[in-house]
Amino acid sequence: MQIYLDCIACFVRQALDAARLVTDDEKIHEQVVREVLSLAADLDMSQSPPVIGQQIHRLIRNLVGQDDPYHKIKRRFNNLALKLYPELRKQILGSDDRLETAIRLAIAGNIIDFGVNASVNESDLNKAISDSLAADFDSRQMQSFQDAIEQAEEILYLADNAGEIVFDRLLIEQLPYEKVTVVVKGMPVINDATMEDAVVAGLPRIIEVIDNGSDGPGTILESCSSAFRSRFSIADLAIAKGQGNYETLSDVNKDIFFVLKAKCPVIARDLGCEVGEMILRKSKSINDIVDLVKEAE
């Protein structure tokens, strides 16, 4: 998905929110805003929004002189999610459709996104959980998700944020996880999950976890390591979690299921859904394009 003009004001607001979250120094807040404005004035609008997010957060880390300014926040939400984990797991095991319940919970965890909202708190998370379990869910793609998972031999699960990764574990446990590799970010960016968070979530004990070598808040392929890129090209299915992964991979020709909460109006418009909606959506992959061509013939 490429940058929309509406994204630009949002970059400026997000940069200010992020700067305020990581330092009280008002001079740095102003410096961040001014540098983001200069950056945005010459923006290449054909890029995906996380390419700018990557630059903005490099800038902020540089100006505050910290490699991982969201470290405390990530720890806090990991702990919060781990406290909820046993009860949520029980709920999944006791439900009529374990996979659907697990997907609903994985989407609830997607609320922990400090790129979109710098003031997420515990009660937002609790509300997201109860809302996600009760909300309408367009599960038409559920069967095709199940089929794709059965047929695939190598599945990449592209994780999104810290804390949220514990909710991802709940979903991964409902998958044939011997075929699944979890992918985290190569370096800290916003509150995106890195290897440290995967370890806290207990994932490496049950499954292979790799990192993508990048500090992009999404999966910016050209910014990822060649090791990750070759795993990505070999895998026959990817499950891409969250807005950043949707923004960076929605135009990539690959079998991908996007799993997210549409939190911003631009992404909701791009997806053709309402803000707040839970999304399980298959990519327009080569196969679909072939199908469409066949249908048209």
Which residues of the chain form contacts with a copy of itself (CB under 8 A)? 5-6, 8-10, 12-13, 16, 26, 29-30, 33-34, 37-38, 40-41, 43, 45
* Residues paired with residue 121 on neighbouring β-strands, in sequence order: none
Report the nearest approach of a copy of itself to the CB of residue 276 (Å).
19
Report the nearest approach of a copy of itself to the CB of residue 44 (Å).
12
DSSP single-letter state for residue 264: S
SS3 95: coil
- What tokens appear for 70 in the block? 């969201």
Length of the chain: 297
- By the 8 A CB rule, do 282 and 297 touch? no
Report the nearest approach of a copy of itself to the CB of residue 274 (Å).
17
- Which lies closer to a copy of itself via its Cβ, residue 37 or residue 234? 37
- Which lies closer to a copy of itself via its Cβ, residue 16 or residue 199? 16
Report the nearest approach of a copy of itself to the CB of residue 5 (Å).
5
Report the nearest approach of a copy of itself to the CB of residue 290 (Å).
33
Residue entry with tokens 């996380």: 50
- Which lies closer to a copy of itself via its Cβ, residue 37 or residue 227? 37
* CA 252/CA 34 separation, integer angstroms: 33
- Which lies closer to a copy of itself via its Cβ, residue 13 or residue 72? 13
Report the nearest approach of a copy of itself to the CB of residue 56 (Å).
13
- By the 8 A CB rule, do 165 and 193 touch? yes
- Which lies closer to a copy of itself via its Cβ, residue 18 or residue 102? 18
DSSP single-letter state for residue 224: S
- Which lies closer to a copy of itself via its Cβ, residue 9 or residue 93? 9
- By the 8 A CB rule, do 225 and 213 touch? yes
- By the 8 A CB rule, do 21 and 12 touch? no
